[in-house]
Every structure is written in C-alpha cells, then in structure tokens.
Amino acid sequence: MILVDKKRICYIADTPMLDPQKIWQSALGELELMLSKANFTTWFQNTFIITIAEDTGEVAIAVPNAFTKSWMEQRYNAYIMKALNNVCQDKIKRILYQIQTARQVIKPPDATIYPLSNPKLGGVIVQEKVDEFGFNRRYTFDNFVVGSGNELAYSASRAICEELGTRYNPLFLYGDVGLGKTHLMHAIGQFIRRNHAGKKVLSLNFERFTNDYVSAARSGGFDAFRATYRGVDVLLVDDVQFMIDKEKTQDEFFHTFEELHRKNKQMVITSDRPPKALVELQDRMISRFEWGMIADIKMPDVETRIAILESKCKEKQFTLERELVVYIAESIKNNIRELEGALNKIIAWYELSRKTPTINSVKDVVASFLADPSKRALTPKRVMEAVAEFYSVSLDDILGICRKREFVVPRQITMYLMRQELDFSFPTIGLHLGGRDHTTVMYACDKIGGMLESEERLRLEVENIKQRLYG
C-alpha cells in the first residue's frame, strides 16, 4: 500500500541498477511497515527521490516544505536509511533532504507502466496513482480479493453504493492494520464518483477532522467547517478510534453524524476494533455507530493470501513461480500489507540483481517479513516486563507517577516500544500505562525517537530490549 503522488517521479540516474522511482517505491513499502499508518501518510505521501549517487552512496530526497525537512532529519532519518539499505543492499551512506514543490518535478512519460529491460521474467513495475480526489486508483472493487474473512465487508460495501444512505447507514468496517479497510473505503469512493454524477464525496482520516476542527476553533471558522463536513453526500472516515480522549471533537462529530444521517447521506467509518470495544467514547457515539451495518475484516486464510499475491503479481506484471507464491503466503500471516511488502522487496531484488527468484533467494529477501511466532504473541505486558527487567525496576515503577529519571526513561521507552512494535494508538498506550493522557504518550514517543538518532547508548539499550522480546 504505497501512496505515491502522480506528479512526483523524478529520474535522473541513467544506470538501471539505481532507478530512483523503483527504489523509492520499494523503500516506501518498507517504511509503511515500520511506521503507523497516520505517520506514514502524513509525512511520506509528498516525497520522492531526486537523485542517487552510486559512487558515494548519497541520496537526495525531495520534501514539500521546511517543516517536513526538519521532521525527516530529526525523526525519520534512521528509518529511511534502514529502508533504503534494505532495498539497495547497504549501499546508501548519506541522505540529503531538499525542499522541492511538485511543479519543479521533471514530468515522466505519460505511461504508468515501466518495463524491465530483461524480458526473461516479463515483469514490470506499475506506478501507483492517486486521483485528484485523493483516492488511490489501485484500490477498486475489481481487484479486491474476496475470501471468507472479508466477504461480508465486501458485500456490504458494494450494496451501499447502489442504495446510498438507505441500505446500511453507517457502514462500520473494523479489523487489524493492513487487512483491506482502506482499500474498500477508496473503492467505495471511486465507484460513487464514477456512477453517481454530482454526488459530493469526502474521504479523510479522523486526524484530519480533528485538525480541521482545531483550526476552525482557533480562527472562528466554524461556519465554513460545518458547511464542508455537513454539505456532503458521502462521508468516508478512516481510523475513527483516534477520536478517543477528544471530547470536543467527539461532540462536533456527533452533531455532524446526526445531521448527515437525518438527510440520508451515506457514511462509512473504519476502526481497528468494533464499536462496543471503543469504550472510551461517549455512549451516544457508540450507539450511532451501531445504527447501520457492522462488518469485520479478518486475516485471510492461506488460499486467500495466495490469491492476493497472484493478483498483485498480475497487477505488477511480474512473474513469480507458483511454489514461491505459496511459500510466501504460508509464511506471512500477519496482514496483507506485509504480503505486498514482501512482493515489492522481491521485485526490487530482481531489479537490482537481475537474477531469477528461487526459493532460497526468496527466503533471504523476505526474511524480515516472515511471521515470527514470538512477535505474534507480543503483548503490552511482555513489553513492560522486558523493559522493567532490563532497567531493574518494577512494573509498579513503570505504571507509577514518580518523576525520577531512573523511572521516567524506562516508562517512556515502554510507550515507544508499544507504539513501534505493537502499532498501538496513543490513547490505547495511555490506557495500558495507568490511564495516561494520549498527549503524554505522544511526547514520550517523539522524545525517545529523537534521542535514538543521537544517543548510541540508548539505541543499544533499546535494541537489547527488542532482543529480549523476540529472542
């Protein structure tokens, strides 16, 4: 699931070994697995590689503004370096960030399919496009692979497109990260725009709703804010769990929901859990989410995973032997995003090595994606216990409020690891650590993330803790 702006490709390097667009596409796949979806979308959807110097290992990455440049340098440089070196076999030595707007980008050929020079496998890399409404053109009903774990969600999504606002309103989709919720949401949006002329469709992550609400509160622009959100025919809201602990934003969204529902305007909402599990929300909000259809999306079984990989290979026009497809599908069991990430890495490996994939090379290339039983069993308690053991403190110290450094640092590292290793939301982490406010967790994660880039000792300590978690 790589978000790539249709205007952002800039290829200067002549060598086929270092095609910037293909390397960045694969690196984004790696980064999406390292970061939360919200952070990945916020910081990486408007970036691209400008040049790669093969002789020095220096990469120049374009960013849209000074704020993003600073954030990349301070917070994400280590992640980007790791992702690029995973793709480029440790050839990258330095990253430079340059502010560059879309109009400065060298426009590529109109074709969106880039053939490989070696016809032996007949493969190509397909460049993703995002349309002018923000919908990923690759996320359609036609290429959504239906299996037993998502059949209800798929059927309900198709049904509401035929009877907007009256069949299932709202449609509430829930499931773990990377299982297809966003795919279905984009498919719904694109279908409606194509088949219901004149309908106003608004699609967003709930964090954007929050940011717009805060901006309206500061500027006194509530009339414009409400006209925007209450004047649509279809509202698609991703990751609604982020409204936890935002009382005023909840109130505003509740009244927006009420107004749209009263006018039979279709709403689609996604979350990482069912409404009743959003216990931190207002009861009236949970009740509204249950008015329509609730459909969960489970991890696909092995047959569906095989079908997904075969579909992705066809989409990318890349040939992979059946036994290799089956091996990947049987090995990677966490989510679809990891399946696609593994396939992207294999394609990148082929692009760089020009060798036909074999079972041994596939095992080596996708080792970082393979399902780890210890990781699947990872729990918040295990994270807290590992940190407490390493720093010789107690669980009560981790959960407590003492501000001594000997307790604060382990506590903050616990928050950071829950965010990075479990992909928990900030409010959820706060609940596991004694009911702390989500802003406290955000501060801790940012602080530790920044310190890890400059303090070698802390980095080694965190790596040691990770070894305890997965060893």
Domain range summary for the chain, segments of one domain joined by +: 16-130+302-369, 151-297, 375-470
- Beta-strand pair 113-115/124-126: antiparallel
**Alpha-helix runs per DSSP H in 317-376:** 322-331, 336-353, 359-365, 373-376
Angle subtended at Cα 333 by Cα 146 and Cα 412, rounded to the nearest 5 degrees = 120
* 253 neighbors 210 (Cβ within 8 angstroms): no
Specify the CATH number of the domain 151-297. 3.40.50.300
211: left (phi over 0), alpha (psi -120 to 50) or beta: alpha
Looking from the CA of 132 toward its CB, the CA atoms found within 13 Å total 1
Of 130, 43, 38, 11, give the one whose Cα is nearest residue 424.
Answer: 38
Q: Do domains 16-130+302-369 and 375-470 have the same CATH topology?
A: no
Sign, Cα dihedral of 181, 182, 186, 187: negative
Q: What is the full DSSP assignment across 255-269?
A: HHHHHHHHTT-EEEE
Q: Quote the pTM value.
A: 0.54
- Beta-strand pair 234-238/201-205: parallel
Q: What is the DSSP letter of 136?
A: B
CATH T-level fold of 16-130+302-369: GMP Synthetase; Chain A, domain 3 (3.30.300)
Encode the chain (471 residues) as per-residue pLDDT tens digits. Answer: 333 333 332 333 333 445 788 788 888 877 877 776 667 777 887 789 988 887 888 999 998 877 778 888 888 888 899 888 888 877 889 999 998 754 333 333 222 222 222 222 222 223 344 444 567 778 899 989 898 889 999 999 999 999 998 889 999 999 887 888 989 999 999 999 899 988 999 988 888 898 889 888 988 889 999 999 999 999 999 989 888 878 899 999 999 999 999 999 999 999 988 888 887 788 999 999 999 999 999 888 888 899 989 988 888 888 888 999 988 888 887 778 788 878 888 887 777 777 788 888 788 767 766 644 444 456 888 899 999 988 989 988 998 888 888 899 999 999 999 988 887 888 888 888 878 888 889 999 989 988 988 888 888 888 888 877 765
96: left (phi over 0), alpha (psi -120 to 50) or beta: beta
Q: CB within 8 A of 364, min separation 6: which ones?
A: none
CATH T-level fold of 375-470: Chromosomal Replication Initiator Protein Dnaa; Chain: A; (1.10.1750)
Q: CB within 8 A of 248, min separation 6: which ones?
A: 213, 217
Give kind and range of the element (H or E) at residue 201. strand 201-205
